[in-house]
Each structure stands twice: as C-alpha cells, then as structure tokens.
Amino acid sequence: MVELILDQFTEAIRQAIARQRPVRIRGSGSKDFYGGAPQGEVLDTTAYRGIIDYAPEELVITARAGTSLVEIEAALAANGQMLPFEPPHFGPRATLGGCVAAGLSGPRRASLGAVRDFVLGVQIMDGNADQLRFGGQVMKNVAGYDVSRLMAGSLGTLGLILDVSLKVLPRPKAEATVQFECDEAQALQKMNRWAGEPLPISATCYHDQVLTLRLSGAETAVQAAQAKLGGQALAAGEDFWRGIREQSANFFRGNAPLWRLSVPSTAALDLPGKCLIEWSGALRWVFTEAEAGVIRAAAEQVHGQGTMFRGTAKPQSVFHPLPKPLMDVHRRMKRAFDPHGIFNLGRMYSDF
C-alpha cells in the first residue's frame, strides 16, 4: 500500500519533468493561504500517512508526511508528551508534512524552540524523483550537511517530504496563565527582563494593554513563579493560548491584510494598525493597510523582516525580499535539489 503511493509520487514527478509542468505539493490545504500563490497540478500527500515509529522513552516520533497533526498530538498526549514547538494547525486535517514545510511555530517557540529545532531526520523525494534520507532518529548527528532542518520552512520548494523524525518533550506537569495591565513599552520591558531570569515562562502575549504570560513546569515551580510575579490568574488559559496559536482569538478577526513581523525582541516598532505581540517581543502581528514598502522599511529599521501573512491583494513578494548575494545562493540551492524546477514554483519567491 505504502509502496504503491510512493510509486504514484515517483510517477507524478517523472511526468512533471517530462512535461515540464510544475507540481504543487499539498497536504490538507490548511495553509493554502500562506506564501505566494500555488501553481501547478496538485500532488496530494494525505494518503501517505501513519506513525512509523514512536518510542516515548527515546523522545522521538517518526511519521509519514500525510499524517494529521491531530493524530500525532493524540499519540504523544497519551504518553504525556507533546510537540514542543506547539504548531498552529489552521485546519482540522493539517498534516505533519505541511507543518514542517511551512515551518510555523506557536506560542512556546521563544522558550523551547521552533519546528526546525526539533527536526531530527527526513526522507524526501527530490526533483529527480529519487528517495533520499538525511539525519535520523537520534538527537546528536553531525554527519553530512543538515538537510533535515533545511526542509523546515522551505515550503516544499526543495522536495517532497515523505517522512519526518521529530524530537518530542514531556508535557509540563502544571501550567498557569496570568495577566497584567500595562502599556506596550512596559510589556516589552517586562517580557524581556523576565526571560532573562530563571522563571518557567513558556509563552507571552501582549495586546490592548494586557500582558499575558503562561507558566509551565513542576507544580511547585509554577506556584512559586506565580507568587513571585503576581498578576491576575486567567482560568481559561488553555483556550486563550489556543486562540493565539490558531488565530481564532478576537484580535485575528479583521479585514485588513495581516502582517507577521519578525524583529529583535526589544525593538520599538511604530506602525499604523492594531498589533499583537508574542515570543517576548520577537513576533509582532499587525493588521494594516499600509504599503508593503512602508511596513518593510519600518521592520528593517529595527533589523527585522515582514511577511504578508494573510490578505487578498498580495504584494509582489509575500516574504521579505533577500539581498542579491543571498538570493543567488537560494536559486543555486533550489537547482541542487530540484534541477528541473518543478516543485512549488513561486510559493516562496517569484522566480523559483
């Protein structure tokens, strides 16, 4: 069965090469909105599914690209573990392949790391329809270039991800959410200062004069931190963070384009529109009608970058434009993986 699906993938890629037609790799389509407009015939990965190996005491799970995140998270939860990077699903059938290809991480990112930090190994099908394996199921591995992590966030432009091995972590024994009233400058100061102290902070969010923190860890550690920091406890903490991760919170209801700005955590950013801050200040969500150029100039001024995350009228480049020498390296790397130029054209940058 599994072999049959792989044969179909191989055939689809060979056909694409022969006809010089692009292929659009797609899981459930939960992130169709993200990146440049997809082109080409859909190569559906959802049939290639299932957890291949999961050893809780090894802290490693390996699953096929089409496996749903829901299935993976349920298997982990049954063993008291989790995906440490808390990925947004953006849809009920979001797949592991899509999660790694999009490279998006959730609220826990600033404290535990991003998708790329937990990718240990991958099997891919490259642009010649060859199956290649990189990395493995072990945590320390420095043999060869780190192609596995390179797949995270590559938006399917380098190859078809077949399976992925991820490092997982135990779920915290206890969690609590607390809120403080303050202005943005105070919030940035507090988030950064506290991140530099031995406190069990696992997520931060600031919006509309309210700073929200999540504390995670041993029960006694969470209680001690709560006593030290004060603030108002929020009973529905889990719902709150789900709303931020999945963008179902009220803030994310808006018609203006939604920009995602990645900036140094202490940066003061001055942009028109409503803003929500995560990751101790390193991630800013802004709804704004301002021109892409204006937004990116503001981001660059503080050594940051801007992505147009959601919006109907997309700018010429959804992702922050790269300086020429860096773009040249990208083009050459794309050719190394995908010499015929068939995978997810235009999804990341317009010319590859």
The residue count for the chain:
352
10 near other proteins (CB under 8 A): no
Least CB distance to other proteins at residue 325 (A): 4
Least CB distance to other proteins at residue 151 (A): 8
Least CB distance to other proteins at residue 260 (A): 8
Q: Is 61 left (phi over 0), alpha (psi -120 to 50) or beta?
A: beta
Given 26, 49, 109, 310, the residue binding other proteins (CB under 8 A):
109
With contacts defined by CB under 8 A, how many residues of the chain interact with other proteins?
87
**Strand 160-167 to 201-207 pairing:** unpaired
Which ranges in the chain belong to alpha helices (H)? 2-19, 69-77, 96-102, 109-112, 115-118, 147-151, 184-195, 219-229, 237-245, 292-301, 324-337
What span, in angstroms and rounded, lies between the C-alpha atoms of 312 and 323? 26
199 near other proteins (CB under 8 A): yes
Return the number of the residue (46 or 337) whose C-beta is nearest other proteins: 337
Residue 107 burial (C-beta neighbours within 10 Å; 0-12, 13-18, 19+): buried
224 near other proteins (CB under 8 A): yes
DSSP 295-344: HHHHHHHTT-EEEEEE-SS--S-SSPPPPHHHHHHHHHHHHHH-TT--BS
14 near other proteins (CB under 8 A): no
78 near other proteins (CB under 8 A): no
The one-letter code for the residue type at 317 is S
The window from 41-49, 87-95, 246-254, 263-271 that contacts other proteins (CB under 8 A) reads 263-271
Return the SS3 of 19: helix
Given 171, 242, 274, 340, the residue binding other proteins (CB under 8 A):
171
Considering only residues 290 to 309 of the shown chain, the ones binding other proteins according to CB under 8 A are 303-305, 307
What span, in angstroms and rounded, lies between the C-alpha atoms of 50 and 46? 10
Considering only residues 44 to 63 of the shown chain, the ones binding other proteins according to CB under 8 A are 55-60
The answer to whether residues 95 and 27 touch, using CB atoms and an 8 Å cutoff, is yes
Return the number of the residue (138 or 294) whose C-beta is nearest other proteins: 138
Return the number of the residue (81 or 95) whose C-beta is nearest other proteins: 81
186 near other proteins (CB under 8 A): no
282 near other proteins (CB under 8 A): yes
Return the number of the residue (47 or 55) whose C-beta is nearest other proteins: 55
218 near other proteins (CB under 8 A): yes
Binding mask 314-343 for other proteins (x = CB under 8 A): -----xxxxx-xx--xx-xx-xxx------
What span, in angstroms and rounded, lies between the C-alpha atoms of 290 and 293? 8
